[in-house]
Structure 1
């Protein structure tokens, strides 16, 4: 192997290399799910190559090999990611830096640089997820990376016990500083925004709806929303969390023109209305905060007539909320909602809006069209036609999570043949038929209901609460909500899906955990812990920080903040000085040695200190010469100490402790005058 002697002197020992690779693996492990597979293999190959170099089986790569490796890595990133300025490409770039640095991991300086990069990669964990498991894993990662740093200080420090022990001490000492900074540091907005990965699979309500979509969501019990109220809580029949409005029907699928995947293409400006336009002067009926799980879509969920002051949240013309970016992690936003009857009704729909809300395919579903035409020819108005259609649902139809498949004419087959369906079947057929009768109508998708968690006072909405309903336009009332499902299965609206379809609910689950009461309670407790974690830690914003400081200080002023910050610092310094004082006294002494030192200190205060290096017996004989009246007691103490210390005599230790309770030299006998001729002992 052609390695210069200078290089050989800088090569890291085996323990240091293993610590660096262990820290890298721990930090990269949670990122393996979203990093490209080629990058994971490249990191493994780099680690293997470096270990082979240590064993002498491979050579350290030269400049040409390094240049080729860098070129391949950059080309791989360019081919994997379509845009560079996004979160996942930046994390991948850090992982690439790990990989490339392993090729030339030679000196202690290289190891420190690699471990410094590891700290940055630990921080990126919380950009992807901020749940409790991720937080615990982040702490564990910090422990491992810090231990790897400790291990670089020498051969003795590379032992696992010593490295982890010192790492734990360092992190424990940093906890008070972390807590103080968490409470008092100003909550500033981000200096720049890094886009989330918009190619991630979306979850929850989709940007379109066709028969069967919502029945698939009914198989998932994952949380979707957590809602806490500042004031009254809406009754179950009013808990309609609207998120999307569909106006276009192609014969099978409902969608909204301009909404494609995760992008609101070209219609963003038209969808937004002025935040306070048309809102009544009276106060809102409901004030609440929504914590929405990651959906990788920009639409949010709220009650009708919503308004939000949360940064980045806007209200649309369809009476829904939208966020400026796809929701890639948990998002908290505050909402106020007014009763629709208190909001002034707009004068009417424009010609363009009439066309949008009456649009139907040119052909298809002839029976539904004929039924609607017949009702209109009978002179029925919009409300009468709606009541007739709802009455037909109530008389003949069945609510089921496993409806039969429908063919080309989905509405006709559902209305006049199968008459079994889920919420999207009812909303689909209702809106189609009302439009065929000349009544503007639209489909609304979102969630309905939710489980009230009494212990923490919040509403838990799960994916199986996904729901679709309808709205029709009445000139004197505006848009009016109509839920056809309520005509067939009112218990679905009042008590939830699990009550309305008890026999079919989560029937396909591999393990029917929802039927086990203990597991259900345990999962609810875990959800409450997650809710409290998010409210207390993750969403600790400027408003909550100010409230906490006011509760602690009464009034926020520079002087009180200085005292609040200075007091913990002073206490920490005092504790540190005490610890240094006690830790500087050397290793802990045996009980017999501690007791004998107490004897020596008392003799020193009486004016007869023990000389450095003086044996216990010699000290006792010197006390006999210079202070004869204490000689018997000093001799007994010395004999008891020698038996306890050197013969491990438990009785002698008890005797030594008992003798010292009454041994106070100046109280037992005054110190003789050593300058008097009669007190001088000549031997």
Structure 2
């Protein structure tokens, strides 16, 4: 059993566990379940030790607990050098530290770990709710630190009050450092778990994939333009190109994805683009997808660090987009690019590839058009006219069998964008025309107040591109032949009866809630623009606006002046607090009593305790002793036991005439 002197007070323990719980709560969904139960069991064991029902574990038990924890981490994670096992290791350290939480030093170490765990929260998300929760965590952890000063400071009101005061005093310094500290990149990178689920457009497409995305109204992209805004029919945000078809599934094919060795130009290809002519400049804020591909209009160039261009006119990032990511893009319309190089033999074969068998009716129909001598544009025109004449655009198409293209073209004739794009490319390839499927997003909602385009997951779209000699790759959207309002006005207009039909709360049908949702998105947009994306360029521009010229002398002055003002404020606060203006009400009342006693010829000595002063009054002026003792007793109850009734009694006694004292 631990000796009583070694034990932490109950209030200190409870504050430590509250701080741990606040820091770990957002991580519970990420951590293995055994860590959550182990932490809860360690807290229970430590409370039992405090109650005297159990002993602290010995060295053998601690070594066994460490071995079990290491084994559990090894079994739970495939690799150690990743974000999730690092956070889990901090959580395990909490758990193990609770088994030897004895001294104040142990308490301080545990609470310092809590700050680190709270900081890992922002590795996953940097949204406003997470930021607010992070502030709550810091307040609770700081209050727990304050509570370690003693039983008196462990009272919730005092601990939280001291925490808020300390953090409020740190805010000016925090803002100053946020503005002036160099915006350095990470010294090392810890990858996230590659097995985590991806969101948004996938690296392959089968019938029904985009239909599922149409049920989500989560933001995907926010796009602001520096100059002209493209019209709705030009808002195609391409992210992936599917060239391989196995009879049912469209995919990028081997060697296209950068993760499989696909060629990427990381320094741009400015020399291949015209110096002047129509182009769009814009900034994209992309939500996390856990994938490396980014979204932009055709023929993009990006100067953002770590972003490169692929041969099939896409942009990708060096690493997966694990959190919200902003990048700059310039796009040239294809008709401004001038000379078009011939399609290489390998690319031609890739974009004419079809399975060895299957879909015989479509193959025969396309072969008949090819033998008739029709060119690529005429075959495309006839196929689009066929779509326009006979097909229905729906979010709930019937299931298709093995010959999915034949069943769609000559059977159900009901489909979503992936059905039209996939069948179109198959038919064009069967006719001997290079074609490919392109996936991304189309359209978006223009937010006039903040002047940006909001693209949601239900704007996910698939279209086609065909190769025309002398003109290169040309976009063809078969969906536009069936439902042109989908391209012009969005999915909600094209499929009004089916749009978000299965959602629990159809916000799009509630004007007021829809406006609130849009306002919230604008707030998030401002938050990201102002805080999260405050990089070195924005920092330099802000400092130039404030200082005029960013020089070492001006920067030092900019730092020194606020710090001097803060120190002056602290000195003034100490001065006035020394004069008693910030003393508790009970202490001010007692000082008033002491001044009245001094006027009566009985001055209180410096450093003399209230009880000692009362004994001296009894000895020197016995006639005043009864009243002085009553006042002293009321003061002690009010000051040391937070007794409101005693404070009222003290006020009442001090209102009595001096003669009665």
- TM-score (normalised: structure 2): 0.88
Q: CA RMSD in A?
A: 2.4
Match among 86, 89, 92 for residue 90 of structure 1: 86
Matched, 1:217 2:213: yes
Match among 300, 307, 317 for residue 313 of structure 1: 307
Within-5 A mapping of 1:120-131: 120-131=116-127
Q: Which residue of 1 aligns with 2:114?
A: 118
Within-5 A mapping of 1:167-316: 167-258=163-254, 264-269=258-263, 275-282=269-276, 285-316=279-310
Larger Rg: 1
1:231/1:286 contact within 8 Å kept: yes
| CA-CA distance at 1:552 after TM superposition | 1.2
| CA-CA distance at 1:269 after TM superposition | 3.4
Q: What SS class does the counterpart of residue 285 from structure 2 fall into? A: strand
Q: Which residue of 1 aligns with 2:516?
A: 522
2:147/2:154 contact within 8 Å kept: yes
Deviates more, 1:396-405 or 1:523-532: 396-405
* Alpha-carbon distance in structure 1 between the residues aligned to 2:109 and 2:380: 70
* Alpha-carbon distance in structure 2 between the residues aligned to 1:33 and 1:4: 36
Q: 1:330 to 1:589 in 2, by over 3 A?
A: closer
* Alpha-carbon distance in structure 1 between the residues aligned to 2:131 and 2:464: 42
1:271/1:318 contact within 8 Å kept: no
| CA-CA distance at 1:43 after TM superposition | 0.5
In structure 1, stretches of 5+ residues that fail to align are: 598-609, 619-642, 650-683
* Alpha-carbon distance in structure 1 between the residues aligned to 2:602 and 2:99: 66
Q: 1:101 to 1:278 in 2, by over 3 A?
A: same
Q: Deviations over 1:62-82 (max 9, x none)?
A: 111000100010111111111
Q: 1:30 to 1:270 in 2, by over 3 A?
A: closer
* Alpha-carbon distance in structure 1 between the residues aligned to 2:178 and 2:57: 45
| CA-CA distance at 1:273 after TM superposition | 8.5
Matched, 1:324 2:318: yes
Q: What SS class does the counterpart of residue 272 from structure 2 fall into? A: coil
Match among 552, 576, 598 for residue 613 of structure 1: 598
Q: Which residue of 2 aligns with 1:385?
A: 379
Q: Which residue of 2 aligns with 1:572?
A: 566
1:278/1:344 contact within 8 Å kept: no
Q: Which residue of 2 aligns with 1:459?
A: 453
Q: Which residue of 2 aligns with 1:490?
A: 484
* Alpha-carbon distance in structure 2 between the residues aligned to 1:284 and 1:165: 60
1:345/1:478 contact within 8 Å kept: no
Q: Which residue of 2 aligns with 1:33?
A: 29
* Alpha-carbon distance in structure 2 between the residues aligned to 1:108 and 1:465: 56
Q: Deviations over 1:104-131 (max 9, x none)?
A: 0011100000001111111111111000
Q: 1:20 to 1:590 in 2, by over 3 A?
A: closer
Q: 1:587 to 1:276 in 2, by over 3 A?
A: closer
In structure 2, stretches of 5+ residues that fail to align are: 604-650
Matched, 1:142 2:127: no
Q: Number of residue pairs matched? A: 605
Q: What SS class does the counterpart of residue 263 from structure 2 fall into? A: helix
| CA-CA distance at 1:646 after TM superposition | 5.5
Q: 1:588 to 1:646 in 2, by over 3 A?
A: farther
Match among 502, 508, 533 for residue 508 of structure 1: 502
2:203/2:252 contact within 8 Å kept: yes
Q: 1:277 to 1:587 in 2, by over 3 A?
A: closer
* Alpha-carbon distance in structure 2 between the residues aligned to 1:566 and 1:522: 43
| CA-CA distance at 1:209 after TM superposition | 0.4
Q: What SS class does the counterpart of residue 461 from structure 2 fall into? A: strand
* Alpha-carbon distance in structure 1 between the residues aligned to 2:209 and 2:289: 16
Match among 504, 525, 548 for residue 531 of structure 1: 525
2:20/2:114 contact within 8 Å kept: yes
